[in-house]
Structures are given as C-alpha cells and as structure tokens.
Amino acid sequence: MTDIDTIRSAGNWSEAYVLVDEPPAVFEALATGTIIQEDWSVSYDNGSGSLAGCLPDMTLLIGSSAGAGDKGAARLRKAPDDLGGGLGVFYLGADPALAIEFGDYLTVIDDFEPFAKHPVDTLMDVDVTYSDQFTDFDPVPWFNGRCAVIAAGGTALFDASRCWVPGSTISGLSWTFTGADSYTGETTATPTATYDTSGRYRVKLTVTAANGKSFSGYGYVFVLGENLAGESNHLADEVEVDYMAGGSATVELLDRPAIRDGARAIIYTRDWYNAVEQSFGPVAGRENILLEGRIIGETIKRNPMQDTVEFEIGGPVAILERLATLPAGLVDRTLPTDEGQEDLPDWSVMDDMTVTKGLHYLAHLRSTITRCMDIDVEDWDWPIHKLTSDAETLFSQLTAYAERAALSVRADRSGRIFVERDTQLYPISYRTANIPVAMTLVDGDWLDELTIVRRQRGEVGMATAEGTIFSGGKLTQVGGRAPGDQPAHWGVQEGLSELSVSGAVDVTMLAGLMAGAKNAEIERITARLAYNNRLMDTAPRMFVNVTVDGETLRCAVRNMRMKLYSEATGFWNVELDLEPEGGEWPSVVIKYPGEGEPPVTPPTKPPVDPPIDPGEPPPPPEPDGDTDAVVCVAADVRTSDDLDAGTPTWSSEL
C-alpha cells in the first residue's frame, strides 16, 4: 500500500508525547567575579568537565546551585581560556541583562540555543573584525530537521541537500555521529546513523564551500528507551501550525528545573495505521514530529500546589521573534552614500549585494541560528542597493529583508525555516512545474462537509507592486498595477513596495498574481480530515488538491491543527485551512514622471556647507538727480533723462 492508502485505511490512532530536553553538563565551574564588559568575559575557578568540549555558541547556564539556570543563560562566544588548576575565562556574547556574581555556578551544557549577535563600531560580536566575510561567505548547514526522535535500535535520517552558500558552491560535507553504533554516508548528503542504546546524541555537520570556508552546525538524535522517554497525554490543547505565525502548543507537565526559558521541547507521536505502528509525514525521518521548538519563557506558569507547570512550546517563528537585536543595514558598494553618511564600516558594505546575501548576514553573522537551526533561503540574485531594518527582533529583520524580494519567512513542524516566495506569487506554469502536491483530497478524506468561504466580490480593487532596478550604481523606479491603471469600483488597494527586481516584467507579474490571489472566487476551504493525516505542512511550498463542484482546486496550506478527537479513542485528526490558488490577472506598467529618460543617479550626500543666506536684496542703484526712471531688463540696465519725450534717449549700459 502507498502512504495515502495506508492512511486511508481504518483504525488510525496515535499517542502524543512531550520531550523536554535536558542537556547534560559539558563543563562546570564557579564564577570568581562579575562580567567584564570590555570583552564580556568572566573568570572561573573549580572548573571540572571537558573544557575542550566547550564549543563556540554553546549555552552557559548561570545558577545559584550546581547545574541550575535560575539566573539566566548566556552564549559562549568562543572557546574558553584554560589558565590551569581549574582556573579559566569564559568569553560570552554581549548581553547587558546578564548578572553574574562571585560564587555563581556556571554550567556549559550540550546545547546551542539561538542568540543574536551585535555590531558595535567596527566590530561584530564583541571582537570579530571584518576580513572577507562578505566576499567569501561561510556555508550554511542543513540537516533536514535538526532533531530526530527514534526508538532504540532505530536509524536516524539526515539530508544535507539544501546546504547553501552565497556566491560559491558546497564542496564538502562531513558528518560526525558521536555515540552511534553504526552509520553510513558520513561524507554524503544523505547519511544514516543507527543507535542501539536510548539516550541523547549530538550530530555535527561540517560544510565546506568551494571558496575555502567551512562551518559546523549541530543537531541531536533522541533515542527513546529506558534512558529517555517523553511524557504522554499532557497536551493542554491542539498543536497548531500557521503559515505566518509558525507552530505552537501548550502543555502541562510535572514541574522540574529542566523546564526553563529556551529549553528545547519536542512533541512527537507514536502512530498506528491499520494496527501497525508507523508514521507518515512530509519530511523523511521526521514523520513522528508534531512540533519541534523551544519553551517560551514568558508563557511559563508554575503551579506549586499541584507541582505542575504549564508552558507554550514555540516553533522557529516564535523563537526568532524573541531574539532582540540592533538595527541592521547594508549597502551595495557601488551605491553613492546618502544622508551625509561617510566611511561606512566594512560590516555594512557588500559587493554585488543581493537579498540572499543580506539574509545570510542576518542568519549567520547577526545571530547563531545557522549553528542550531535549519534555514533555507530561496536564491534570488537580483542586485539590491540597500537593505535596512530598524525592527527590534531577528524575525522582523529577516522578514523586512525577505520582503524586498517578495519572500516570506516561514517554518514547518520539524523546526526548519524557509525564506521563500508564496505559491500565489508564482505564475501558474511555474506552480505546475515546481510546486509539489502533497495529496489530493477526495470526499472520503474529510469528515462531514467542507467549509467553503466564497468571496461575494473581489477583495482588492487595485494591486500594486513597486520597486527598483539596481544596475551599475543606478536606480530605476518600476511599478505594476492590476487589473489596470485605475482602481476597480470595489475592494481595497493592496501592494508590495520597495521591491528589488530585475525588470518591469517582475512588478507587473507580481501585481497581476496578487490581484488574482485576492480576488479568487473561493477565499478559504476548511477541511476536517477523517484520518490522522499529516502528509502536508505550511512550509515549504506545497499544494493540497481539493475537488469542489467537480473542479479540482490547488490550495496552499495556511493553517493546520492537529488534535485528539476524543480521549477515549486515541483518534487524532487534522483540520486544515486551505487557500485555493488565484489566477493571473492582467496588469499594466505604472507610468512614473520622467519615465523613458535615462536612469537617475541615486541621491548623493547633501552639501557640507549650508546654503548661503541671501539676506536683504541689494538696494537698487541710486539714479542721477535728473533721472525719471530706471528700467531693468535682465542684466542690461540703462537710464533716460527724457522719458516724457516721445522717443526717450537711453544711456549706455550701466
């Protein structure tokens, strides 16, 4: 039987488990002072454990007792200094909120929580100077889901085929499966690793690029059994994944120290179809994962009376929304500086800048997410002159950069981040050729009836897409409108702006596609599936086909809610919000004033000296005693003594 045939067989049931990660300590010590903010270092004594195992970007817990993190968490910026005799120095990521006191317990744990990194003056992340980071970019690892949950004796699958590097190519892969009993393909994109003993195992992937750069990311395999098990039946509500807000779920567990802000938490299932244990999902090797994320600290509600704690697990979107960061700005080197700004630091200037390079800057240099999370960026190599964002969180900044190429930042249930263009913003022929169909729903696949929301009239009377073409240091404004140059008598105006495009064809296409999407007859279809059917996700791009009134509609998955049908049955089902694809509407090029003239040079900096105040106008020349009038014609000033005469006699030029 195929996957879908098995899913359609009767008797699906499932058990959900919550696994809160409890990373072991790598190194423990006592603080011997406070943080020195010049280099964000803290010295320690009584160190024990593996100092060599303290890797850059590992998490350091600060606590009032051994192993605790009640006073906060920090990031190891780089390897610690070993001064011998248990003495040494930790170098941390800058964080003014950190408060370490003499005698605090410092515990480096085997985890890499995501942190933001900040530029100050000419330095990045406290002490990193610019060298060639914008010419030879670091490669970005991709695991196809950083965490796998398997049974003892099982095999974990990985797929590095989406590793990427701007301006170069991936030339090598090297996997390290510490603790695995056997593995295959350790230098290939699709290795496997088998673990016989339950426990928690780290996986390392070192990616090398043709430009000579390499970078390592980390993931984990959780092997279930006598040493490690999730907790069942503690879901307070459904697991929901939204295409914009990402995944989330609220759970309630017995309280324990491991339940802290930022701790990794995974909701996984054991599924049975046709009385056989097996799981089906869109990601190979992650079919049993309902949600991979981290505990959102502000949602933790401890109940001392019951010794329980309720909290929310947030997927990548929620995690990135909590990473506070400084404004981020980049310009292309060929763009003349404006706003009077000169001598931009090297960390702000790129050659041949693209949105992809800008997103690499945010994901890799302004944060640690490439170390611990999968992020894939759809490669748009259209030149862009400037990327700026004063948003306060990393997610907002990634979104602001992505929107310049009409891209969105989305995440799936397995914790993978995709920066990609929505299905609706691709031409129909592209959709057909490149966007997969997760499954086609027929009327036996949903419970009861579909809920279909139809538009009574168009939603958008005019869709616009405006942006610039950047070439040779010059900008050309372009725009497109749909369905025409005038708004329709119904609907609102909606648009994409500040796009970076390669030509007018891009903006007219986007305007037409946006109008087509927002004015499609069917706005939304909600389907409550009759099976424990998780073959689809809200990211990456995929279609779910639905047949309505004899017509098969390709739909994007906008929201997915997985919940227990009833406690007494073990039957989980899935509710989908689907958006049928729109058509391609006609569109026109916006006529800007001066269009057709050569591209304008971007504004240069204003003059250093302010304009001279003209002051009072100079007084007119004092006429001679007999002069009757002064006539000024441009620069030619003459006088006449006989204006009363029929033909005055004019003097020579003054």
Partner 1 sequence: MSIPAYALGESTTAMYSLEALGLPLPKAEAVDYAVYVENGAGEPVGQGWLVARWRFAVLSAAQIATLESYAGACGVRTLKADDSYGLYSATLVLPPRVAPKVGMTLDYTAEFRKLVAV
Residues that bind partner 1 (CB under 8 A): 10-13, 272, 275-277, 442-450, 530-531, 565-566, 568-571, 573
Nearer Cβ to partner 1 (12/370): 12
Residues 193, 133: contact at Cβ < 8 Å?
no
Q: Taking the complex as a whole, how short is the minimal distance between the CB of residue 527 and partner 1, in angstroms?
A: 8
Q: How far apart are CA 170 and CA 214, in angstroms?
A: 9
Nearer Cβ to partner 1 (11/606): 11
Q: How far apart are CA 275 and CA 13, in angstroms?
A: 9
Nearer Cβ to partner 1 (420/445): 445
Q: How far apart are CA 507 and CA 592, in angstroms?
A: 14
Looking at residue 36, the DSSP 8-state letter turns out to be B
Q: Taking the complex as a whole, how short is the minimal distance between the CB of residue 33 and partner 1, in angstroms?
A: 55
CA distances from 65 to 90, 95, 534 (A): 18, 22, 43
Nearer Cβ to partner 1 (16/108): 16
Q: Taking the complex as a whole, how short is the minimal distance between the CB of residue 560 and partner 1, in angstroms?
A: 18
Q: How far apart are CA 50 and CA 242, in angstroms?
A: 41
Q: Taking the complex as a whole, how short is the minimal distance between the CB of residue 203 and partner 1, in angstroms?
A: 30
Q: Taking the complex as a whole, how short is the minimal distance between the CB of residue 442 and partner 1, in angstroms?
A: 8
Nearest CA to 54 among 17, 24, 31? 24
Nearer Cβ to partner 1 (567/653): 567
Q: Taking the complex as a whole, how short is the minimal distance between the CB of residue 8 and partner 1, in angstroms?
A: 9
Nearer Cβ to partner 1 (321/445): 445
Q: Taking the complex as a whole, how short is the minimal distance between the CB of residue 445 and partner 1, in angstroms?
A: 7
Q: How far apart are CA 238 and CA 564, in angstroms?
A: 7
Buried b (16+ CB within 10 A) or exposed e, 132-150: ebbebbbbbbbbbbbbbbb
Q: Taking the complex as a whole, how short is the minimal distance between the CB of residue 11 and partner 1, in angstroms?
A: 6
Give the CA angle between residues 191, 194, 198 to the nearest 5°.
140
Q: How far apart are CA 131 and CA 187, in angstroms?
A: 29
How many C-beta atoms lie closer than 10 Å to residue 151's C-beta? 14
Nearer Cβ to partner 1 (100/530): 530
Q: Copy the structure tokens of residue 266.
A: 């995974």
Q: How far apart are CA 203 and CA 200, in angstroms?
A: 10
Q: Taking the complex as a whole, how short is the minimal distance between the CB of residue 579 and partner 1, in angstroms?
A: 19
Nearer Cβ to partner 1 (306/451): 451
Q: How far apart are CA 199 and CA 484, in angstroms?
A: 62
Q: Copy the structure tokens of residue 112.
A: 């890499």
Nearer Cβ to partner 1 (113/271): 271
